[in-house]
Amino acid sequence: MQLPAFHLAIPVNELEESRLFYTEILDCKEGRKSAHWVDLNFFVHQLVLHESKNKTKKHFNEVDGNQVPVPHFGVILEWKFFHSFAKNLKKKKVQFEIEPYIRFKNLAGEQATMFFLDPSGNALEFKAFKNKNEIFKP
């Protein structure tokens, strides 16, 4: 079965600044848009940026010795692509909340992960599992 794409709509402070971040830094392709929102192809998923002035308070949970921002979203990438993507983000001078590293090393669910914020403070996590069969393994 082909996996369905998700749809996620998030608030952003400044639509144009956020649009440029997602299209130029993350290489997302732009779709439909209006003066107050824009659709993006976010790694084959539909991400919609909605301009909003409402701020939400961030929370953090400890995971593997790091303070992980909550809420956050992102995608699971292929292992090799994750590393080239991380290298490209560093070249583009992305400020990481949690630098790319290997989490749960030598344990079930070993994964490469990184966290950074978009211009509106929305937290993104990109990860890759060393063994894709362990994505949901306890």
Domain CATH for 78: 3.10.180.10
Neighbour count for residue 41 (Cβ, 10 Å): 16
Check pLDDT > 70 for residue 1: no
Return the closest-CA partner of residue 45 out of 91, 89, 8, 2.
Answer: 8
Instruction: Verify that 91 and 126 share a domain, yes or no.
Output: yes
Rounded CA gap, 138 and 136, in Å? 6
pLDDT tens for 67-86 read: 999 899 999 999 999 999 99
Q: Which pTM value belongs to this model?
A: 0.89
Count the domains in the chain: 2
Flag whether 130 is in a domain: yes
The parent domain of residue 42 ranges over 7-51
Q: Residue 78 gets which letter from DSSP?
A: P
Flag whether 128 is in a domain: yes
Flag whether 2 is in a domain: no
Rounded CA gap, 51 and 18, in Å? 9
Instruction: Verify that 25 and 65 share a domain, yes or no.
Output: no
pLDDT tens for 31-52 read: 999 999 999 999 999 999 999 9
Angle at 125 between CA 136 and CA 97, to 5 degrees: 135
Return the closest-CA partner of residue 18 out of 118, 123, 124.
Answer: 118
Instruction: Verify that 68 and 101 share a domain, yes or no.
Output: yes
Flag whether 37 is in a domain: yes
Stated length of the chain? 138
